[in-house]
Structure formats: C-alpha cells, structure tokens
C-alpha cells in the first residue's frame, strides 16, 4: 500500500520513491515556513533566509543610507563604509587616500613603465600631443603665455642676452642627461614649473626621450632615476 499525501483532505497516493510526503498537486504548496515580515506580504521564507524578508522585499533590508554624492539617490548596502555608491566611490576620502598610498608605493614601477612605453611608442606619443595641441589651441596659447611670464621673471636685459648666447653655444652639444648625440631641445635643468628661470646657467641640451621623461622634474632627481647604464659618465 502506498502512503497518502500529507496535505489534509488529499487522498492522492504517493510513489514509493517520494520523499516529500506530498503528491504532485501539493508538492509546491507552502509549508509551515515563516512569512515575510513586511506588513501585508504573505510570501513564505526558506529555512536559510536570515533577513526576515522575501525576495520582493529583501532589498529594503540592506538599505542603510543613500549615496552622499550630489544628485544621486542610489541606496547603499548596510556594509558600505564609504558613504558613496559604486559609480561615485572615487569621491570618498577613503578611496582617495588608498589611491595616494597605492601610487606612492609604486612610483618607481610606474615611472619605469612610462619610460619604456615612451621609448616603444615615441612617435604615437608625439602625434597624440600634436593632435591635442591642435584641438586645444586656446589652452596651449595660455600655457605659452604663462611660460613666457615665468621665463622673464627676475631677468635683466643682460641676463636675456646671456641666455640667448648660451642657447647658441650648446645647440650642437650632446644630451646632458644620457649623452645622446642627437638633440632637439634646450631644457631647463631646474624646471620653470617649479620656480626655475631662463638664466644661462639653468640651460642644458636634451634629447627628445629625456625631455619628455623629465617633464617638470628637477634635473638632479631625473638623473638619479635614470638607470646607471643610461647616465652620462
């Protein structure tokens, strides 16, 4: 004799391999499980549910606050420690501090990567710079104007004449930093962006790779960064 369905009033018989105690008609009927705690919701909860809320209302369980970014009303999970949603987490001070520590700890690695990339993609890099300059003429002109003001700072007419003469004297010199024979720029050993001037004693000859890599770095710091094999003996 096969057992009957365990649902009250049902006389359907069960298969011998049935382990649920219910027939096919009542297999998915709600068992004696707790209901969702949201008022008016009769959805049942599985045994592993620890929120007390059904699938339709579980999101409300996790909402701790809203994103702190202006104009963003996204809800945050209860374990969110930044106060910002995923799209705006970069605005959080914790994230900014993490980024600062990350880059400070890997400065040497990033600089070496950038140096190797510029060596391998020098033409592409210069083409991108020229394209940006062409598309941003006003910004480029403003940058040149600021540069001219810095160049003329604290320089007399005699200083400017000495600077012009110095440029003529060193135009055929090798690169001051790596010794490359071909050079195309006169570089400021102590950069203008950090208070350097256009005095003759601050002018050195530089090749394209060194001029690009040095950027606004002091000449001494740049020389220390260069691998020993590339420095001028």
pLDDT at position 30 is 57
Residue 102, domain member (yes or no): no
In the predicted model, what is the mean pLDDT of residues 140-158? 74
Residue 135, domain member (yes or no): yes
Residue 3, domain member (yes or no): no
Q: Which of 30-39, 81-90, 160-169 has the lowest mean pLDDT?
A: 30-39
In the predicted structure, residue 62 carries a pLDDT above the cut 70: no
In the predicted structure, residue 172 carries a pLDDT above the cut 60: yes
Domain count within the chain: 2
Contacts 24+ apart (CB under 8 A), 115-118: 115/213, 118/209, 118/212, 118/213
In the predicted model, what is the mean pLDDT of residues 88-110? 88
Indicate whether 82 and 114 sit together in one domain.
no
Share of the chain above pLDDT 70, in %: 88
Coil, strand or helix at 163: helix
Which tens digits make up the pLDDT trace of 39-56? 888 787 776 676 777 877
Indicate whether 222 and 186 sit together in one domain.
yes
pLDDT at position 199 is 86
pLDDT at position 233 is 55
In the predicted structure, residue 110 carries a pLDDT above the cut 80: yes
Q: Are 227 and 196 in contact (CB under 8 A)?
A: no
Name the residue range of residue 70's domain.
Answer: 65-96
More confident residue, 120 or 38: 120
How many Å apart are CA 121 and CA 117, to the nearest integer? Answer: 6
In the predicted structure, residue 13 carries a pLDDT above the cut 80: yes
In the predicted model, what is the mean pLDDT of residues 171-184? 88
Residue 138, domain member (yes or no): yes
DSSP 29: S
Residue 53, domain member (yes or no): no
In the predicted model, what is the mean pLDDT of residues 205-224? 86
pLDDT at position 47 is 63
């Amino acid at each position: 004799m096969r057992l009957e369905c365990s649902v009250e009033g049902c006389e359907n018989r069960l298969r011998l391999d049935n382990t649920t105690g219910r027939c096919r008609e009542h297999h998915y009927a709600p068992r004696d499980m707790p209901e969702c705690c949201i008022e008016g919701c009769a959805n049942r909860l599985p045994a592993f549910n620890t929120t007390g809320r059904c699938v339709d209302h579980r999101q409300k369980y996790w909402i701790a606050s809203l994103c702190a970014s202006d104009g963003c009303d996204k809800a945050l999970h209860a374990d969110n420690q930044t106060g910002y949603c995923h799209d705006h987490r970069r605005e959080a001070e914790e994230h900014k501090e993490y980024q600062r520590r990350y880059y400070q700890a890997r400065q040497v690695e990033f600089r070496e990567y950038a140096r190797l990339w510029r060596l391998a993609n020098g033409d592409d890099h210069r083409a991108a710079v020229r394209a940006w300059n062409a598309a941003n003429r006003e910004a480029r002109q403003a940058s040149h104007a600021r540069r001219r003001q810095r160049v003329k700072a604290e320089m007399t007419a005699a200083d400017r004449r000495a600077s012009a003469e110095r440029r003529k004297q060193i135009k055929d010199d090798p690169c001051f930093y790596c010794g490359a024979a071909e050079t195309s720029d006169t570089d400021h050993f102590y950069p203008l962006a950090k208070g350097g001037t256009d005095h003759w004693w601050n002018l050195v000859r530089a090749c394209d790779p060194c001029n690009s890599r040095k950027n606004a770095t002091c000449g001494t710091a740049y020389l220390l960064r260069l691998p020993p094999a590339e420095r001028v003996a």
